[in-house]
Structure 1
Amino acid sequence: MSSKMSAASLQVSSPDDVRNVVLIGNAGSGKTSLFEQLLKSRLVGYRGEKEDAERAAQLYLASLVTGDVLVNLLDAPGHPDFVGELRAGIRAADAAIFVISAADGIDGAAQALWEECTAANLPRIIALTKLDAGHADFDASVAEAQAKFGEGVLPTHVPTLSAPGVIAGNIGLLSLEEHDYSSGEVVNRKLTSDDSHVETWRGPLIEAIIQEAEDDSLMDRYLSGEELDTEYLLDDLRKAVATANLYPVLPVASNTGVGVEELLRLIEHGFPTPSLHPNPSATTPAGAELPVPPTDPSAPLVAQVIRTTTDPFAGRLSMVRVFSGTLKAEELVHISGHHASADDAHPDHDNEERIGLIQAAVGTELKPRNTAIAGEIVMVPKLTTAETGDTISAKDHPALVEPWALPEPLLPLAIRAATRNDEDKLSGALQRLAVEDTTVRLDRGGSDQLVLWTTGQAHADLLLARLVDRYGVKVEQEDLKIPLRETFIAKLTALGRHVKQSGGHGQYAVCNLEIEPLPRGGGFEFVDKVVGGAVPRQFIPSVEKGVRTQLEKGVLAGFPMVDVRVTLFDGKSHSVDSSDMAFQLAGSLAMKEAANPKTVALLEPLDLVTVIVGEEYLGAVMNDLTGRRGQLLGTDSEGHKAIIRALVPQLELARYAIDLRGIAHGSGSFSREFHGYELLPSNLTEKFAKSN
């Protein structure tokens, strides 16, 4: 293959010709600038893509050819709100370029990104950017990375300066070659003078490579002063990188392209091919185990939808990673979508669908293809049922690859259509958003509100913008209603009397009720203790129906009532004027008559909240939870992480997804599950009673 991309569609013949690489790094680390520099180095006339909110929030695919391999580059979002897109990129890729800003250091958010890679055992090269900042220091940055990420972090190249703070190029520690970019083109030459950086880092790098090598004699030969063969060391370096045991550090300048050629060589020769990176395991759609799909174009097809975009005119476009077999245009395939948190927007499904067009990235453009073999990443338009995370497999050998773990959307946004016209379009637009973004949850919960659950403020802003820009739907935000409940707190009796006479048949019903609270979670009980026919048998269910109807409406502040026992023990009837409706009204009136601020209290829902943060943030998080009226249940530790459990009122959790991120500097995460109801403090009871 030519190292300058041609306009024609590229067709690889073997998985070994492909490198699938995802760029990962904090927002502001220089990640996307480096992505653009990599493309400019190989795409003739490429001027770069426009950076906007959509571009920064989604997984972006482009390709280039370097040496003899096709590199599929994936640019993953760096913002914590879009970790679902990041995990999709990790699933699609076989290795990562992890971008760290030397000017900004490694914060909690960067550590969280590294942990995402570690969980997937993803091989990584560290690209160290912004070394031209006044306070940046290469040695200090590497030392910080080693402290945060382990001793496997070691430079393979060190920077050279043309002036203080100006990166001119780099020196390869194994080849002892200097790569000079000062003229605008890279000039390679053998190092002829001593360099302190080389002396500092070359020995530790060689020793680390030897430790990973299978030749036990290498260390003795090295310690005896023998100069080891560079190609031999490079081969062992590739093995160490491919197994995620060693993480080369390479200084780069995202704005000038310094280091790009060396980075591309590491990608070509140091990163694993799709055949060397393990595929995810698979089962049948029914759950029976299957062998791990081999990265073999001749095996049965197993592929996965990595992300889905929708367009009101063009329809769906699916990014697909082929793990095994060959995807063919016009082929009938099996689509499996089984999700751990299946809901109305993302139901489980198994069906067959015909693949239409296949498109492959040629640079930043999409070109038609007839096939895509194991190891490739392609785009498939107009799949009608496949969603992000779904498995595409051979019709005769259906398979299911478990989707990657999705972040739980924990920031609720209560919305309503701005106009009647918007209301007509809102439901369909939200369904399309949910298909594209599997982290979206739609909920009407215990209120009459439409609640859009998002992963954070940036995610919420993006979704609202998509509704307007893509689907022409305007919505208004409103205060989130927490589903409070009412309950009786004292035992009492109540009289319900509904007597009306207006000519002809009147209305007559009297019921005597005893009302008493039940323990939390007790629900509702209706007890019949009528004797002597004071209330005719046919009207006793009418009293219960009237009581239930009033409990659903609430008796004090308009919230449903729970945890109460109502006993009908007496009443009066009329042989002509009593009726089902009259006794329903009498039962309802009795409940109203019994209600006042001394007999009825409000209950608020509590969630069991589990927070995971760095140990340094433990005290701040606990203080914050206490300030939210939380009941601390205990703490645990796992590595350098603290795990805090607490019962917290839902009233205090509406913006916790945002607040925790600020407290823990982007490194915290939490989960929540409904626990039960407890009495609302009296000062808040008065507030809600007055507002309803």
Structure 2
Amino acid sequence: MNDRTFVIAGHIGSGKTTLLAQILKTTNVIQRVEKTLLDYDPIEQSKNMTINLKVFKTKYKNYDFQFIDIPGFIELEGELISATRVADNMLIVVDISMGLEVGIERAFEEAKKYNLPIFFVINKCKSYEKDPEEIVNLLKKKFGKQVHPIQVPIGIGNNFSSVFNIIDGNFENLEENLKKKAIKEYNEFIEAVVETDDKLLEKYMEGKEITKEEIHLAFRKAIDNSLFYPVLFVDALSGIGINELLDFIGEYGLSFEEKFDDKNFTSLLIFKTYSEAHLGEMFLFRVFTGKVYSGIELKNKRTETIEKISHLFIPFGKERKEVNELKRGEIGLFLKLKDSKTGDTLSNDNIIYEWVKYPEPLYVIGIKPKTKKDEEKLSESLQKIMAEDPTFTFKYDPQLKQTLLYSQGEVHVNIIFEKLKQRFNVEVEKERAKVPYRETIRKSAEGLGKYIKQTGGRGQYGVANIRIEPLERGKGYEWVDKIFGGAIPKEYRPYVEQGVKKAMEEGFVLGYPMIDIRVTLFDGKYHEVDSSNLAFEIAGSLAFKDAVSKAEPYVLEPIYNVEIFAPEEYISDVISEVNSRRGKILGIETNKIIGQMPLAELYDFLPALRAKTKGRGRFKMEFSRYQEVPINLVKQ
């Protein structure tokens, strides 16, 4: 039970990747600490940030570690969500100079969903002249009294030289001031551990002796049950504190065997898809039960497809080592499955593992290919990128005649564009997303449509009289045939309606489809020889346009119900932002605003909300209705 699988999380810039690089150097897997060895993707290197989760396996003493490195940028939190689903523990890296950023809070929230043991690692202790105790107090204030340091840093800033373990360190080796601090922290540590165990608390209150073994067992149990969040101190760049970190997470990290019982069947969960030009799709997975070996056949329960596993690999960043077998708890990689994707369970039993829910992609832009060649490849290329990044989507809207890209934000869009260009040689341009406006009428009116052409030979003849009336919002369209007698023969009347519908689609004010109108055909004329389907279709279209011109047409815009979530201290700023976007506030709760906003103002609301809330704001939206666009905006 010496396996330990950790996701390394934190805010962008906290030094997560550098920390992992130092761990790999300490365990003699790599020779030097360079981020580019881990962030090897050209896009990552050009942007100097992690954009894809990666798995690295290493051994330290008698512990086998699997580390999952993930991006810290909030727009790429899909990688955090995927990685946390298959991890057993989480290291949350905190930059001592930055304090509590949104990436720390999101990592904590995600870990709590799965009750993962959480270890806070305060990084860059040598790089900044800042007292680590300030950060510890911020963590305690935010995440509760379960947060407690298990080390005392020796030295501050450039004088940071080592760490002292308060659990089993020798206090006599410390100078007097540090000794007092360490003893104080130790006593608080003992009290914090005792409070998590009723039997120990009873002994403590009675003044009975508590053994180190009892403390150790209670401490381990408290970490496993998220009742204690240890805080450790490192400087990843210099390597100070790395050995002590590995010793601690090796001893107190949760193993897969402790977390799950084995079963008499094989099952695995795919948690990441990659694509490489010369290999095609590659799938990262974790074995949950049994063993996976070359040649095994497993069923995809979503598709009922049998997948034969021909080659197995252990991933190490961009490198991979082929193996014959992987046991439960191990993370592996395989290639070229028939019909599987991220989130699928493969098994020779009927089990299906629950997959995650990603944040809705609410930042919307229009995109257009630069050339005809790009246009032909765009959809297929985006589909391939979506396979490895399910946090965005796209669609072509035939009414708007525009391809809409739904993503997590501006940086996310730029990454997608870079992938299109570098991997598929497809270039696209951004444009403002078009809004599906609609048009309607304010009052009833009648219209006459004539299409008569009689110039020798067979001509065209169709006359239609219609009446249009506004309907209640949301009623759509109604057609009423009130022709009596033979003014227009029955076989021609559907073509009048067809012409009306085409005219409604074309709009009148700005060219948007018209809605919420009742159209009544009440009279007309025909010619026994010259009348035709086409003549009455054109007459219907002309009659509708004539009627609309007298019915005071106007433009409608889609309005959405919104729920906006933000910390209480940002609520007033968010309300101001909503008001500036023609929003309507319907209710305010402690951390939530309920309201309505036009879709035109929601396409780029997400970056603005994040700016107002330091990345902490989010929102949900649902279509409500169409309502009239202010006349000043129509003129624009």
TM over 0.5: yes
Structure 1 contact 210–219 (Cα < 8 Å) conserved: no
Greater displacement, 298-307 / 368-377: 298-307
**1:79 aligned to 2:73?**
yes
SS at match of 2:160: strand
SS at match of 1:660: helix
- Cα deviation for residue 193 of structure 1 reads 4.6
- State the alpha-carbon separation in 1 of the partners of residues 318 and 606 from structure 2: 35
Instruction: Indicate the residue corresponding to 2:249 in structure 1.
Output: 267
Aligned partner of 1:670 among 599, 604, 619: 619
**1:197 aligned to 2:185?**
no
SS at match of 1:533: coil
Instruction: Indicate the residue corresponding to 1:17 in structure 2.
Output: 2
Q: Which runs of 5+ in 1 are unaligned?
A: 1-15, 179-188, 278-293, 338-348, 688-692
Greater displacement, 480-489 / 356-365: 356-365
- Cα deviation for residue 363 of structure 1 reads 8.1
- State the alpha-carbon separation in 2 of the partners of residues 126 and 97 from structure 1: 6
SS at match of 2:304: strand
- State the alpha-carbon separation in 2 of the partners of residues 644 and 135 from structure 1: 40
Question: Aligned AA for 1:159?
Answer: P
Q: Quickly say closer, same or farther: Cα 1:513–1:217, change in 2 above 3 A.
A: closer
Q: Quickly say closer, same or farther: Cα 1:423–1:108, change in 2 above 3 A.
A: closer
Sequence identity of aligned pairs in percent?
33
- Cα deviation for residue 385 of structure 1 reads 2.0
Question: Aligned AA for 1:32?
Answer: T
**1:439 aligned to 2:391?**
yes
**1:470 aligned to 2:423?**
yes
- Cα deviation for residue 173 of structure 1 reads 0.8
**1:627 aligned to 2:572?**
no
- Cα deviation for residue 438 of structure 1 reads 1.2
Instruction: Indicate the residue corresponding to 1:249 in structure 2.
Output: 231
Question: Aligned AA for 2:306?
Answer: E
SS at match of 1:427: helix
- Cα deviation for residue 636 of structure 1 reads 2.7
Question: Aligned AA for 1:205?
Answer: F
- State the alpha-carbon separation in 2 of the partners of residues 101 and 236 from structure 1: 30
- Cα deviation for residue 45 of structure 1 reads 4.4
- State the alpha-carbon separation in 2 of the partners of residues 454 and 364 from structure 1: 26
Aligned partner of 1:96 among 74, 85, 90: 90
Instruction: Indicate the residue corresponding to 2:631 in structure 1.
Output: 682
- State the alpha-carbon separation in 1 of the partners of residues 491 and 86 from structure 2: 67
Question: Aligned AA for 2:87?
Answer: A
Structure 2 contact 194–201 (Cα < 8 Å) conserved: no
Instruction: Indicate the residue corresponding to 2:161 in structure 1.
Output: 168
Greater displacement, 133-142 / 366-375: 133-142
- Cα deviation for residue 306 of structure 1 reads 1.0
- Cα deviation for residue 235 of structure 1 reads 3.0
Structure 1 contact 555–591 (Cα < 8 Å) conserved: no
Aligned partner of 2:190 among 203, 206, 213: 206
- State the alpha-carbon separation in 2 of the partners of residues 246 and 609 from structure 1: 37
**1:34 aligned to 2:28?**
no
Q: Deviations over 1:446-502 (max 9, x none)?
A: 522111211111111111100110111111222211111111111111111111122
- Cα deviation for residue 595 of structure 1 reads 3.2
Q: Quickly say closer, same or farther: Cα 1:597–1:415, change in 2 above 3 A.
A: farther
Question: Aligned AA for 1:664?
Answer: T
**1:336 aligned to 2:336?**
no
Greater displacement, 71-80 / 231-240: 231-240
- State the alpha-carbon separation in 2 of the partners of residues 166 and 655 from structure 1: 46
**1:660 aligned to 2:604?**
no
> What is the RMSD of the two structures over their aligned residues, measured on CA atoms?
2.1
Instruction: Indicate the residue corresponding to 2:473 in structure 1.
Output: 520
Structure 1 contact 59–77 (Cα < 8 Å) conserved: yes
Question: Aligned AA for 1:69?
Answer: Y
- State the alpha-carbon separation in 2 of the partners of residues 681 and 232 from structure 1: 71
Instruction: Indicate the residue corresponding to 1:391 in structure 2.
Output: 345
Structure 1 contact 295–323 (Cα < 8 Å) conserved: no
- Cα deviation for residue 110 of structure 1 reads 2.5
Q: Quickly say closer, same or farther: Cα 1:33–1:123, change in 2 above 3 A.
A: same
Instruction: Indicate the residue corresponding to 1:483 in structure 2.
Output: 436
Instruction: Indicate the residue corresponding to 1:113 in structure 2.
Output: 107
Greater displacement, 539-548 / 106-115: 106-115
- State the alpha-carbon separation in 2 of the partners of residues 573 and 221 from structure 1: 102
Question: Aligned AA for 1:414?
Answer: G
Q: Deviations over 1:78-97 (max 9, x none)?
A: 11111111011111110011
- State the alpha-carbon separation in 2 of the partners of residues 364 and 542 from structure 1: 63
Greater displacement, 656-665 / 594-603: 594-603
SS at match of 2:161: strand
Q: Deviations over 1:141-167 (max 9, x none)?
A: 111110001000000001001x76421
Structure 2 contact 467–520 (Cα < 8 Å) conserved: yes
Pairing 1:533-682 to 2, within 5 Å after superposition: 533-596=486-549, 599-637=552-590, 642-682=591-631
Greater displacement, 589-598 / 425-434: 589-598
Structure 1 contact 305–391 (Cα < 8 Å) conserved: yes
SS at match of 1:400: coil
Aligned length: 625
Structure 2 contact 89–253 (Cα < 8 Å) conserved: yes
- State the alpha-carbon separation in 2 of the partners of residues 87 and 607 from structure 1: 27
Instruction: Indicate the residue corresponding to 1:281 in structure 2.
Output: none
- State the alpha-carbon separation in 1 of the partners of residues 93 and 103 from structure 2: 12
**1:416 aligned to 2:338?**
no
- State the alpha-carbon separation in 2 of the partners of residues 271 and 147 from structure 1: 24
SS at match of 1:544: helix
- State the alpha-carbon separation in 1 of the partners of residues 204 and 544 from structure 2: 90
Structure 1 contact 329–355 (Cα < 8 Å) conserved: yes
- Cα deviation for residue 219 of structure 1 reads 4.4
Q: Deviations over 1:292-324 (max 9, x none)?
A: xx542x621121111111112211111101111
- State the alpha-carbon separation in 2 of the partners of residues 192 and 626 from structure 1: 59
Aligned partner of 1:427 among 366, 379, 398: 379
Higher helix residue share: 2
- State the alpha-carbon separation in 2 of the partners of residues 565 and 398 from structure 1: 54
Structure 1 contact 64–363 (Cα < 8 Å) conserved: no
- State the alpha-carbon separation in 1 of the partners of residues 617 and 472 from structure 2: 36
Instruction: Indicate the residue corresponding to 2:117 in structure 1.
Output: 123
SS at match of 1:90: helix
- Cα deviation for residue 232 of structure 1 reads 4.0
Q: Deviations over 1:173-225 (max 9, x none)?
A: 111248xxxxxxxxxx954755232133111101111222464377438956x
Aligned partner of 1:150 among 144, 150, 158: 144
- State the alpha-carbon separation in 1 of the partners of residues 121 and 104 from structure 2: 13
Aligned partner of 1:360 among 314, 323, 330: 314
Q: Quickly say closer, same or farther: Cα 1:361–1:532, change in 2 above 3 A.
A: closer
Q: Which runs of 5+ in 2 are unaligned?
A: none
- State the alpha-carbon separation in 2 of the partners of residues 576 and 632 from structure 1: 62
Q: Quickly say closer, same or farther: Cα 1:460–1:363, change in 2 above 3 A.
A: closer
- State the alpha-carbon separation in 2 of the partners of residues 545 and 156 from structure 1: 77
Q: Deviations over 1:51-95 (max 9, x none)?
A: 464461111110110121210011121111111110111111100
- State the alpha-carbon separation in 2 of the partners of residues 503 and 164 from structure 1: 99
Q: Quickly say closer, same or farther: Cα 1:23–1:275, change in 2 above 3 A.
A: same
Q: Deviations over 1:11-43 (max 9, x none)?
A: xxxxx2311001110001121111111111002
Pairing 1:37-76 to 2, within 5 Å after superposition: 37-47=22-32, 48-50=34-36, 51=39, 53-54=43-44, 56-76=50-70
SS at match of 2:435: coil
- State the alpha-carbon separation in 2 of the partners of residues 108 and 335 from structure 1: 36
- Cα deviation for residue 276 of structure 1 reads 2.3
